[in-house]
Amino acid sequence: MNHPLPFNYRHLYYFWRVAREGSMSRAAARLDMAVQTVSAQVRELERDLGCQLLRPAGRGLALTEAGVVALRQAEQIFPLGEALPELVRAQAQQPAVRLVVGIADGLPKPEVQRLLHPVLEVPGLRLVCHEGEMADLLADLALQRLDVVLADHPAPFRPHLRVHNHPLGRAAMGWYAAPCWWAQAAQDFPAALQQVPVLLPTAHATVRGQLDQWLAHKGLRPRIVGEFEDNALLEAFGASGLGVFPGAVAAQQALEQRTGVRLVGTCDGVEEHYFAISTERRVAHPLVLRLLEARSAA
């Protein structure tokens, strides 16, 4: 296997300065170095690359074809390097407040945004969100890769895993429909759910069990035309008219404005519950603490 020839970036920097100045003496003056030193550095670069980069031209120097290529690359490298200290100092003066959140895949995305709302306007916030299976998220939480996990159910008890469940609230559920199904579904709700196509979340969502019980209690056996693990897909297909679907009543205004659907009626007794899961009973992370305090004050 052929390996690229090594070269010294300092030598490249001196070449870049000479090429920009067009003269070894002017470059040496700009660098506050002896002409012989700068010249030796450039010759070292040419030796490493195996080709001539500069040639005499009158009282100055001109680039060879290889030198043009080398200068083009150097022009991408060194201006960025010169800007680096200022960028780093600017970032240091405005430190980011980092919050890494794990989101259980059964948690509806609009609810995630609502639950995180108390921290979204924190100056310097850097929010990192990871979605996944509850077991994987809890493992990452235990390894301190996550600051908190948001879920629609509490973490199960495991002797080897010390986590704490913090209730973030709950939301009543209702049924929504696109205009093509709304009138029929609303005319004799909830009995009319047996006459229209219905969409449901998969068993991934904790609320699915409550919905099944609610339908059974009402004596309903609707025609289920779709089941979705992703709540955003459930809403999208519901808005397209595929079927009537459940959603949080608290999200009614946002959901109706975003998708054009309308609330048909509520599921009495059916609620989604939300939890923040941490490794600490007494949370120390300021942003996680802010989430919990906002919900307790609501």
Query: Is the peptide bond preceding residue 286 cis, with omega within 30 degrees of 0?
Result: no
- What integer pLDDT is reported at residue 196 of this predicted model? 97
The CATH class of the 172-272 domain is alpha beta
The H or E element containing residue 33 is none
Distance, in Å, from the CA atom of 64 to the CA atom of 39, rounded to the nearest integer, reads 16
Same CATH topology for 9-93 and 172-272: the answer is no
- What integer pLDDT is reported at residue 186 of this predicted model? 95
Phi-psi region of 124 (alpha: psi -120 to 50; beta: other; left: phi over 0): left
- What integer pLDDT is reported at residue 1 of this predicted model? 43
Using a 10 angstrom Cβ sphere, with 0-12 exposed, 13-18 middle and 19 or more buried, the burial of residue 39 is: middle
Distance, in Å, from the CA atom of 150 to the CA atom of 259, rounded to the nearest integer, reads 25
Distance, in Å, from the CA atom of 76 to the CA atom of 89, rounded to the nearest integer, reads 21
Range list of β-strands (E), 178-261: 197-201, 223-228, 245-248
Using a 10 angstrom Cβ sphere, with 0-12 exposed, 13-18 middle and 19 or more buried, the burial of residue 41 is: buried
The CATH class of the 97-169+275-297 domain is alpha beta
The HSE-up count of residue 191 (CA atoms within 13 Å, CB side) is 2
9-93 in CATH: which number? 1.10.10.10
Q: How many Å from the N-terminal Cα to the C-terminal Cα in the chain?
A: 65
CB 184 within 8 A of CB 196: yes
- What integer pLDDT is reported at residue 96 of this predicted model? 67
Distance, in Å, from the CA atom of 18 to the CA atom of 30, rounded to the nearest integer, reads 9
- What integer pLDDT is reported at residue 157 of this predicted model? 78
21 alpha carbon, distance to own chain's centre: 45
Q: Where are the domains of the chain?
A: 9-93, 97-169+275-297, 172-272
Q: Does residue 93 sit in helix, strand or coil?
A: helix
pLDDT in tens, the chain (298 residues): 454 556 688 898 899 898 888 889 998 898 889 989 989 998 998 898 889 989 988 878 889 999 899 888 888 888 777 777 777 776 666 556 889 999 998 788 878 888 899 999 888 888 999 999 888 999 999 888 999 999 988 988 777 778 899 999 888 999 999 999 999 999 999 999 999 999 999 988 889 999 999 999 999 999 999 999 888 899 999 999 999 999 999 889 988 999 999 999 999 999 999 999 998 778 888 999 998 888 754 4
Residues 6+ apart with CB under 8 A from 246: 173, 174, 175, 176, 200, 201, 207, 211, 267, 270
Question: In the numeric block, which tokens belong to residue 209?
Answer: 């069990």
